[in-house]
Amino acid sequence: MSNFLSLYTALSGLRAAQTGLQVTADNVANVGTPGRTRQRVDLAVAASNYLPIGTVGGGVDITGVTRARDTFLDLQARESGASLGRISARADVLYRLESLFVGEGDGIAPGLHELWGAFEDLANDPSDAAARTTVIGTLDNLVSRIRTAASGIDMVARHTSAEIETTVGEVNSLLEQLGHLNSQIFAARVEGATPNALLDQRDLVVDQLSALAGVRASEDERGMMRVSSGGVTLVDGTTVQEISLEADGITITTPSGMTLNPGGSLGGLTGALVDDLPTHRERLDDFVRDLAAALNAAHAAGFTPSGAAGGDLLAFDALAPAATLATVVADPDEIAAAADPAAEPFDGGNAAALGALRFDEVGAGGTLTLDDQFRQFVVTLGSETSSALAASDSQEALWSAVETSRTNTHGVSADEEMVMLMNYQRSYEAAARVMTVIDETLEVLVNRLGVAGR
Amino acid sequence: MSMRISDLGATTAALRRLTLHMASLERARTDLGTGKRIRRPSDDIGGASRVMSLRSTVTANQQAQRNVDDALMWVNLTDTVLQDVVSRLHRAKELAVAGANATTAADGIAAEVAALRDDFVELANTTHLGRGLFAGHRAGDAVANVAGTWTYLGDAGDVTRRISETETVTVNVTADDVFGFTSGRDLFTALDDLEARLLAGDTAAVSSSIDDIDAALDDALESLSRLGGAGERLDAARSRLSGDLLTIQENLSSLEDVDLAQAVVQLEMQQAAYEAALAALRSLDLSTLASFMR
């Protein structure tokens, strides 16, 4: 057998150890990099050398450097991240909506109480001009608080729309990146390379896409990531379907005209905009309709100091009651405090009736007092917010557990790398020693042979 | 399954635990700092709902107390005037009795009767905050001599005050009732007659005036007792309302206010948990195999 052959065998050991050290160095350098998958040198027994006397091993082959990636964990983490995105985006919107009504509905409930009080004070002293002015003042106050709340709801809706628009932009940029990475990865693979860094990047992009739009992702037969959302393909190989937001601010479509029903944050945001905000706005509008109807009806039953029947106290545009609510009476003498037109100025019978509306079940189709109707509105909003926040918290805990176990499986452990470092160092030293020994035997063969007896 | 831990996984998990502890700590701090347990409806739905409903009750209660105070002012004022009316009626009766037994013309007594009648007119027209106490809902004088006839100018309007959700109290009496217009023989005409009879020295007729005054006394006393009844209801309502308010406010406070002792303990516990999490994070930083290799 040839001594030179053994040199090559030792060399393969040196190379393997060297590559191992290189990969270890790379792993250690990326110990804190998010999305980094630890890499391993795959080694295999090299083809044996067939000699006349038998076979002798031919050293070690480096078959590749691979990522220690568990795709099942990826799938779990992405599904969980998509749910978290959807649930927490909706909870955020509800939380912002609820913020408009903290502290007793931010003044609307106390505003109602002040109004009832003002009516009763007027009933106690119907000829008092100040009491009449106070009634108008408290009405104005209540109206302005309701309108502030209504415009607050509009503002939350506008912010949510803006967020949807931004998210659509982010999703598109990620889809673009994904198409790009697909083509780079494909090109690298064609050349026989293992583009581990690109694969890590691509996994991160898919993670983000899942959280934002709840996409499904799977690798196709060419090793390219195919991404779809609700059956609509968004990325196929290097072909990217950019999504766009229609003019209504809610519908999301693809260039091929398909309507997207996204999950993730995008789904949470559109859901809140389509379902939650209109529902609560409608409840506030209902309250405003009942309030105005009850006050106007009771007021119409009375008489002003000039003997005229009471006109409307409140008015609104039927399209948006809460946002357009306005006080109609401006002159204190338009308040109809008297129940008997002949008995002015000291009859406060109608003012008392207006004040007694406090106890009358005139709201929600005659089932609740107005105080209670508004309280129901706040409580319903509060309980939906509270359950959305709780769901978001528990989903966060779930996601975090999956994410931690994924990071633990995929991430670099410094201790492990230290062990690998020792391992490769020893291998290198040993292979080098083998080489030295072979070199020395060759030295004997080349220089010392044939000089016996000299 | 043997658990593999990566450095990034360990630090991320530790950081997350730290954040959670910090959030709890912040919540405990805010509880103690604001003194309020419910800061927004979602903090405690049931509690927030009860708080709002109790607040409605509180404002209704406070308004009822205002109404009661206002009503008591009316009742007390009216009561004072009526006491005046009654004592003057007694004087009128004395004068009538003296006149009935007089042997000479009673010019002096007649003059005093005329003065008393003017007093009664003035008492009947007493005003409170610009409105006649005895005129019902009408403005202006309750009683006047219109073209030689004493007339009640007010109406039968009740002045009422709400003292609870369902109860109202009538706090006024009208000159119509007090001065006998409703019973057909008013005090003012009776006194006019008495004055004329005294001047004429018609002792028999003067004696019949005594009955008129007795009837007027009955009317006035009846009005007084009606007012007294209203006053009693108002006093009872007032003590009930303030008692209720106290109970509701205790309820409110127990619902929305933080139990201080409990909040302090909670804060201490959260602080300790936070510090423990910090200590855990520090130990994470110290130990790696690299420190033991040479």
d(CA A341, CA A211): 68
The model's pLDDT over B239-270, given as tens digits with 9 standing for 90+, comes to: 999 999 999 999 999 998 999 999 999 999 99
Confidence bin at A2 (pLDDT 50/70/90): low
Pair (A54, A32) in one structural domain: yes
Q: What are B86's two structure tokens?
A: 């009654």
For residues B232 and B105, membership in a common domain is answered with yes
Residue B182: Cβ within 10 Å count: 14
Confidence of residue A149 (pLDDT cuts 50, 70, 90): very high
| Selected residue with higher pLDDT from A149 and A445 | A149
- Write out chain B residues lying below 8 Å of A408, CB-based: 3-6, 9-10
Question: Phi-psi region for residue A223, left (φ > 0), alpha (ψ -120 to 50) or beta?
Answer: left
Provide the pLDDT for residue B285: 67
Question: Could you tell me if B140 and B25 lie in one domain?
Answer: no
Touching check for B60 and chain A: CB below 8 Å?
yes
SS3 (DSSP) at B103 = coil
Do B41 and A101 lie within an 8 Å CB cutoff? Answer: yes
Q: Do A418 and B290 touch (CB under 8 A)?
A: yes
Strand order in the sheet with A252-253: A244-245, A252-253, A259-260
Q: Are residues A138 and A108 in the same domain?
A: yes
Q: Is the pLDDT of residue A341 over 60?
A: yes
Nearest to B129 among A125, A355, A382 (CB): A125
For an interface test with A, the pick among B24, B62, B137 (most A C-beta atoms closer than 10 Å) comes out as B137
Does residue A133 carry a pLDDT above 90? yes
Distance from CA of B182 to the nearest CA of A (A): 20
Provide the token pair at A292. 């105005």
B82 and B175 co-located in one domain: yes
B45:A382 CB<8 A: yes
Are the beta carbons of A407 and B138 separated by less than 8 Å? Answer: no
Note whether A61 and A12 are within 8 A (CB).
Answer: yes
Which residues does B168 contact at the CB level (< 8 Å), separation at least 6? A352, B160, B161, B162
Q: Is residue B112 part of a domain?
A: yes
A108 and A56 in one domain? no
Cβ neighbours of residue B113 under 8 Å, at least 6 residues apart?
B92, B95, B96, B99, B191, B194, B195, B198
Residue range A155-180: average pLDDT? 95
Where does chain B have alpha helices with state H? 7-34, 45-100, 107-124, 175-178, 187-200, 203-256, 260-286
Taking the Cβ of residue B53 and every Cβ of chain A, the question of whether any pair is shorter than 8 Å is answered with: yes
Task: Give the chain A residue whose CA is nearest to the CA of B14.
Answer: A404
Distance from A93 to chain B by nearest Cα, in Å? 14
In a domain, A263, yes or no: no
For residues A144 and A272, membership in a common domain is answered with yes
Q: Do B171 and B31 belong to one domain?
A: no
When mean pLDDT is compared across A72-76, B252-256, B284-288, the lowest value belongs to: B284-288
State the best of A368, A375, A406 to mutate against chain B, taking most chain B CBs within 10 Å: A375
pLDDT tens track for B171-208: 999 998 889 888 778 899 999 999 998 888 888 888 88
Domain match, A46 and A133 both = no
pLDDT at residue A158 greater than cutoff 80? yes
Average pLDDT, chain B: 89
Do residue A431 and residue A313 come from a single domain? Answer: no
How do residues B123-149 score in pLDDT, each as one tens digit? 999 988 888 899 888 888 889 988 888
In a domain, A384, yes or no: yes
| Residue B140, in any domain of the structure | yes
**Sheet of A216-219, strand order:** A216-219, A225-229, A232-236, A239-240
Which residues are within 8 A (CB) of A191 and not within 5 positions of it... i.e. 6 or more apart?
Answer: none
Task: Say if B128 is an interface residue toward chain A (CB within 8 Å).
Answer: no
| Residue pLDDT, tens place only, B14-58 | 888 899 999 999 999 999 998 888 888 888 999 999 999 999 999
Per DSSP, what are the bridge partners of residue B169?
B161
Altogether, the residues listed in chain B come to a count of 294
C-alpha B284/C-alpha B2 separation (Å) is 20
Q: Does B47 map to a domain?
A: no
Considering the domain architecture, whether residues B12 and B86 belong to the same structural domain is answered as: no
For residue B190, tell me if it sits in a domain.
Answer: yes
Q: Do A378 and B139 touch (CB under 8 A)?
A: no
In a domain, A77, yes or no: no
User: Are A30 and A164 in the same domain?
Assistant: no
Flag whether B67 is in a domain. no
CA distance B280 to chain A (A): 17
| pLDDT for res A444 | 86
A206-253 pLDDT, tens per residue? 999 999 999 999 999 999 999 998 889 999 999 999 999 998 888 999
Q: What is the pLDDT of residue A419?
A: 93
Residues B267 and B185 occupy one common structural domain = no
Q: Would residue A326 count as lying in a domain?
A: yes
Are residue A347 and residue A432 in the same domain, yes or no? no
B12 interface with A at CB cutoff 8 Å = yes
Query: What's the rounded mean pLDDT across residues B211-226?
Result: 91
**Whether the Cβ atoms of residue A336 and residue B133 lie closer than 8 Å to each other:** no
The whole-angstrom distance between A162's CA and the closest CA on chain B is: 26
Q: Does B66 touch chain A (CB under 8 A)?
A: yes
Same domain, B31 and B134: no
Count how many domains chain A has.
2
Residue B31 domain boundaries: 8-35+258-287
Partner residue opposite A371 with nearest CB, options B42, B56, B129 = B56
Neighbours of A77 (CB within 10 A): 24
CA of B139 to nearest chain A CA: how many angstroms apart? 7
Look at A378 and B56 and tell me if their CB atoms are within 8 Å. Answer: no
Statement to judge: residues A163 and A19 lie in one domain: no
- The three-state secondary structure class of B163 is coil
Asked if B238 reaches chain A (Cβ–Cβ under 8 Å), the answer is no
In a domain, B118, yes or no: yes
Contacts of A369 in chain B (CB under 8 A): 56
Task: Judge whether B52 lies within some domain.
Answer: no
Query: A304 and A442 share a domain?
Result: no
Confidence of residue B289 (pLDDT cuts 50, 70, 90): confident
pLDDT of residue B104: 66
What phi, psi does B134 have (nearest 5°)? -115, 15
B6 to chain A, minimum CA–CA distance in Å? 4
Residue B292 lies in a domain: no
Residues A391 and A421 in one domain: no
Q: What is the CATH number of the domain that holds B92?
A: 1.20.1330.10
Interface test with A, best of B16, B56, B160, B241 (most A CBs within 10 A): B56
Record the tokens describing residue A16, joined without a space.
């393997």
Mutation pick from A40, A379, A393, A419 vs chain B, by most beta carbons of B within 10 Å, is A379
Domain count across chain B = 2
- Residue listed under structure tokens 């590749």: A64
**A163 and A293 both lie in a single domain:** yes
* Rounded-to-integer distance, Cα B294 and Cα A445, Å: 40
Mutant choice from B1, B2, B5, B8 vs A, greatest count of A C-beta within 10 A: B8
Report pLDDT digits (tens) over A396-411: 999 999 999 999 999 9
- Asked, for residue A321, whether it belongs to a domain, the answer is yes
For residue B7, the chain A residue with the least C-alpha distance is A413
Domain span at A57: 3-68+413-448
Whether the predicted pLDDT of A294 surpasses 60 = yes
* Residue A8 in domain: yes
Residue of A nearest to B287 (CA): A415
Closest approach of chain A CAs to the CA of B149, in angstroms?
23
The confidence band for A105, taking pLDDT boundaries of 50, 70 and 90, is low
Task: Specify if A320 maps to a domain.
Answer: yes
Q: Does residue A421 lie in a domain region?
A: yes
ipTM of the complex: 0.85
**Residue among A144, A141, A88, A85 nearest A115 (CA):** A141
- Which burial class, exposed, middle or buried, applies to A259 when counting CB atoms under 10 A from its CB (0-12, 13-18, 19+)? exposed
Q: Which residue of A has its CA nearest to B171?
A: A124
| Partners of residue B289 in chain A, C-beta under 8 Å | 414-415, 418-419
Number of other residues whose CB lies within 10 A of the CB of residue A247 = 6
Q: Are residues B209 and B129 in the same domain?
A: yes
Instruction: State whether B157 and A340 contact (CB < 8 Å).
Output: yes
Q: How many whole angstroms separate alpha carbon B221 and alpha carbon A403?
A: 89
B239 and B178 within one domain: yes
